[in-house]
């Protein structure tokens, strides 16, 4: 008869947002364990999940044997994804796109080497996983990014003492795919959208979405930033250039906030006139949301979906909100030069601007005075 195992622990901890949460640790053998997030501490959902894990643990074939096999790749990945789901969140606690990228990138890995011991996964195995990505037609740059993410899973495993450091160091020896020396395709860089297509789809959009498109073209904002426009983070008048008030949008949430970078977007007179009626209705809240009562503000995914649907209904070439930023960059560079375009788009490197701080903000404001 199987001897009843000691109950799995039910730990309380406080996350970075000050919320009390619960987790448990599931032994994997050889002194290793896997942490599982359970939810809000003391909630019925977290307690029910804990009971389910306890029952599954007691029925595990490894129980009563006192030993377990080596940690498999699938277990290392599962443990990392539980960590990543909590780690890759913005200031409001929402999961970022990086977590979704990890989920997508490990699919070929698990399909090919899920049962392989994590300590035995080396450069040859990683190269085989990369080969699957190439066969499935993934872009060269995308493959290199996903291979880097897989390496970071093993780096994290080293820090958690789940795998030997030598395994991660060996994975670093695999060089990235080089342009022209691989079957993986290189797709063209994102280009500005066709003007005729933008105009055609524009007529099929609702007033808030039309305003978002127009503001993006005038300011060069990223889609996620225009979605997050809210009255509380718009400094009015912000700056005054040649007697003209320039608003400054200082979002708390943005792409590089996790690096400690700050962001400031200059909003000129034309964009101000577009935003005024939405500010009057929203006050300090989010400016752009569907007309339905109680609707959440648009995010980058719903915004892109509405644009894609408008292109379909207008029967025009498809374009995405991300391309509008490239259109703005092209127009600003033509009007005011590369350095001005870099300042307006918030790039720290002019090279980044060609691919698509106070002095910068003043220069961006001067451009907004003339263009935006």
pLDDT-derived band at 364, boundaries 50, 70, 90: low
**Overall average pLDDT of the 236-250 stretch:** 82
Task: Return the bridge partners of 24, or none.
Answer: 36
Most confident of 188-192, 273-277, 293-297: 273-277
Q: Which residues contact 100 (CB under 8 A, 6 or more apart)?
A: none
Most confident of 13-17, 29-33, 243-247: 243-247
**Overall average pLDDT of the 191-208 stretch:** 90
Q: How far is CA 153 from CA 19, 49, 81, 128, 223, in A?
A: 26, 25, 9, 17, 29
CB 247 within 8 A of CB 287: no
Q: Which of 24-28, 149-153, 155-159, 295-299 has the lowest mean pLDDT?
A: 24-28
pLDDT surpassing 50 at residue 358: no
Query: Which of the pair, 351 or 303, is modelled with greater confidence?
Result: 303
pLDDT-derived band at 46, boundaries 50, 70, 90: confident
pLDDT-derived band at 71, boundaries 50, 70, 90: confident
pLDDT for res 4 = 40
DSSP string, 4-62: PPPPPP-EEEE-TTS-EEEEEEEEEETTEEEEEEEEETT-HHHHHHHHHHHHHHHT-TT
**Overall average pLDDT of the 105-126 stretch:** 93
pLDDT for res 58 = 65
**Overall average pLDDT of the 60-65 stretch:** 47
pLDDT surpassing 80 at residue 158: yes
Burial of residue 295 (number of CB atoms within 10 Å: 0-12, 13-18, 19+): exposed
Task: Compute the mean pLDDT over every residue in the chain, rounded to the nearest whole number.
Answer: 80
Q: Which domains does the chain have, with CATH numbers?
A: 1-67 (no CATH), 70-187 (1.10.150.130), 195-370 (1.10.443.10)
Q: Which residues contact 103 (CB under 8 A, 6 or more apart)?
A: 81
pLDDT for res 332 = 63
Residue that has been written with the tokens 């400031």 in this structure: 264
Reference 22, options 6, 44, 52, 7; nearest CA is 44
């Amino acid at each position: 008869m199987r001897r009843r195992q000691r109950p799995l622990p039910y730990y309380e901890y406080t996350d970075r947002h000050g919320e009390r949460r619960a987790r448990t640790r599931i032994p994997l053998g050889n002194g290793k364990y896997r942490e599982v997030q359970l939810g809000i501490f003391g909630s019925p959902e977290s307690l029910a999940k804990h009971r389910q894990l306890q029952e599954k643990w007691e029925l595990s074939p490894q129980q009563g044997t006192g030993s377990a096999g080596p940690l498999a790749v699938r277990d290392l990945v599962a443990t990392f994804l539980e960590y990543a789901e909590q780690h890759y969140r913005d200031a409001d606690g929402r999961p970022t796109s990086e977590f979704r990228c990890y989920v997508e990138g490990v699919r070929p890995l698990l399909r090919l080497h899920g049962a392989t011991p994590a300590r035995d996964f080396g450069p040859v195995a990683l190269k085989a996983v990369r080969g699957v990505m190439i066969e499935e037609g993934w872009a060269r740059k995308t493959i290199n990014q996903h291979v880097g993410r897989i390496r970071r899973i093993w780096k994290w495993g080293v820090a958690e003492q789940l795998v030997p450091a030598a395994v991660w160091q060996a994975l670093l020896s695999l060089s990235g795919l080089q342009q022209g020396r691989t079957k993986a395709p290189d797709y063209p860089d994102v280009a500005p959208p066709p003007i005729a297509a933008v105009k055609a789809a524009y007529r099929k959009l609702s007033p808030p979405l039309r305003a978002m498109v127009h503001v993006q073209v005038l300011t060069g904002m990223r889609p996620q930033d225009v979605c997050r426009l809210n009255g509380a983070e718009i400094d009015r008048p912000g700056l005054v250039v040649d007697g003209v008030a320039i608003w400054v949008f200082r979002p708390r949430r943005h792409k590089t906030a996790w690096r400690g970078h700050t962001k400031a977007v200059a909003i000129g007179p034309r964009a101000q006139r577009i935003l005024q009626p939405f500010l009057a209705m929203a006050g300090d809240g989010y400016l752009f949301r569907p007309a339905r009562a109680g609707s959440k503000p648009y995010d980058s995914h719903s915004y892109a979906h509405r644009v894609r649907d408008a292109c379909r209904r207008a029967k025009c070439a498809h374009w995405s909100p991300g391309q509008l930023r490239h259109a703005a960059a092209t127009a600003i560079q033509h009007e005011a030069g590369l350095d001005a375009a870099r300042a307006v788009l918030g790039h720290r490197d002019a090279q980044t601007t060609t691919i698509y701080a106070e002095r910068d903000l003043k220069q961006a404001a001067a451009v907004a005075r003339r263009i935006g």
